[in-house]
Amino acid sequence: MPMEKKTYYVSVQAGSVLENEGDTAYEFEIVATEQDVEDLMERFGMLSDADNSSAFRAHLPGVPYHQDSVHDSYDETLTDIYRKLYDLGTEETKKTITGMGSIGEQKPPVH
């Protein structure tokens, strides 16, 4: 039996996925199964762990950001989250993420 898909409201900034639109501010709307939401929440947990590591690392001098594997982990996890949101997103969510250039595609040219 396929899992039922529902609409969820996602805040990457807060690391939250909610069923009720009015519960809190959100950036993206997705249509997902409970398993999709669990996967997304696991990725938010990984992002939080990477963020905590990079915050500690930020106080140690000597290694530039672009040569620091802790920051690489954070960046890769964040990109992974945006890819998942794009895959599950409504058309508006897909447009927003594409415009942000968060998952590797080029931003549309400005005329």
Tens of pLDDT, residue by residue over 48-63, are 888 776 555 555 555 5
- pLDDT of 75: 87
pTM above 0.85, yes or no: no
* Number of continuous H segments (helices) and E segments (strands) in the chain: 3, 3
Per the model's pLDDT, the better-predicted residue between 64 and 21 turns out to be 21
Integer distance in angstroms from the first to the last C-alpha of the chain? 48
Question: Strands of 28-32's sheet, edge to edge?
Answer: 16-18, 6-11, 28-32
Q: Place 109 in a pLDDT band, splitting at 50, 70 and 90.
A: very low
Place of tokens 């990725």: 43
Tens of pLDDT, residue by residue over 19-44, are 998 888 999 999 999 999 999 999 99
Alpha carbons 46 and 19: distance in angstroms, whole number: 22
For residue 31, the surrounding DSSP H or E stretch is strand 28-32
